[in-house]
């Protein structure tokens, strides 16, 4: 793989970091275009994205620090992001809360914004997971399978394929559904991603927490169940009208 994309003088540009930034840009572009088509106020869109990403990175890093405290010889190493070490859900949830509070404060249609954000988010994640793969962060268990790379299952690649499928599903529903229930696309995103992450993580090299499940699987299952309940209640309520 190619963890280092290129160097300019004493500066090193890491593939994972570059692709992560490109993923964020892709997300922002998609959300901006969809918001323009919906005639939403995009005044604070990019400011909101920057703040939410910052909070998400802090949350993801702090979660990793508390879960894998034994990997740090000092507290100051928490700032060494170049060495890797972020927990996805530890970043997703704080970032989502940040978006909610910002849009609520700005008196924006929160549910509609989250629907658009979910499409851009999973599209951007494709590049993020490609970055993991290029950096050699396979994250899977040791295996002799034909899908293994250097004897390890590339779980991040599998997740990248799944989020690409989810992105296509969400966008197709968004384009083809004339009378959408605001907020349902984001909850469908949570459900689909949660189910996929739950299954894929059976092959992730992760510490087991409870009943053969790791922390990400427990979180994924909980979020998927919550999302499914919300979707079913919304559909039933809509049919009664």
pLDDT, one tens digit per residue, over 39-82 is 999 989 999 999 999 999 898 888 888 877 777 777 777 776 65
Among 238, 209, 235, 233, CA closest to 221: 209
What pLDDT does residue 119 have?
96
What pLDDT does residue 221 have?
95
| H runs (alpha helix) in the chain | 15-37, 45-67, 88-105, 110-134, 155-176, 184-200, 215-240
What pLDDT does residue 179 have?
76
Burial 110-133 (b: 16+ CB within 10 A, else e): bbbbbbbbbbbbbbbbbbbbbbbb
Under-50 pLDDT residues of the chain: none
């Amino acid at each position: 793989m190619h963890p280092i994309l290129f160097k300019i003088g004493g500066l090193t540009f890491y593939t994972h970091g570059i692709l992560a930034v490109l993923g964020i840009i892709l997300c922002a572009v998609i959300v901006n275009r969809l918001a323009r088509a919906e005639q939403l106020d995009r005044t604070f869109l990019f400011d909101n994205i920057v703040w939410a990403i910052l909070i998400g990175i802090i949350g993801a890093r702090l979660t990793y620090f508390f879960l894998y405290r034994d990997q740090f010889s000092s507290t100051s190493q928490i700032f060494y992001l170049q060495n890797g070490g972020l927990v996805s859900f530890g970043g997703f949830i704080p970032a989502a809360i940040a978006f909610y509070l910002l849009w609520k404060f700005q008196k924006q249609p929160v549910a509609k914004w989250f629907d658009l954000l979910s499409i851009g988010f999973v599209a951007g994640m494709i590049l993020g997971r490609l970055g993991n793969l290029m950096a050699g962060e396979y994250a899977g268990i040791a295996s002799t399978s034909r899908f293994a790379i250097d004897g390890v299952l590339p779980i991040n690649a599998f997740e990248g394929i799944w989020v690409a499928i989810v992105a296509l599903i969400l966008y197709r529903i968004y384009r083809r559904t004339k009378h959408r229930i605001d907020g349902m696309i984001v909850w469908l995103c949570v459900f689909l991603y949660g189910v996929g992450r739950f299954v894929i993580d059976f092959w992730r090299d992760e510490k087991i927490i409870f009943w053969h499940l790791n922390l990400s699987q427990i979180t994924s299952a909980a979020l998927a169940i919550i999302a499914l309940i919300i979707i079913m209640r919304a559909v039933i309520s809509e049919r009664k009208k």
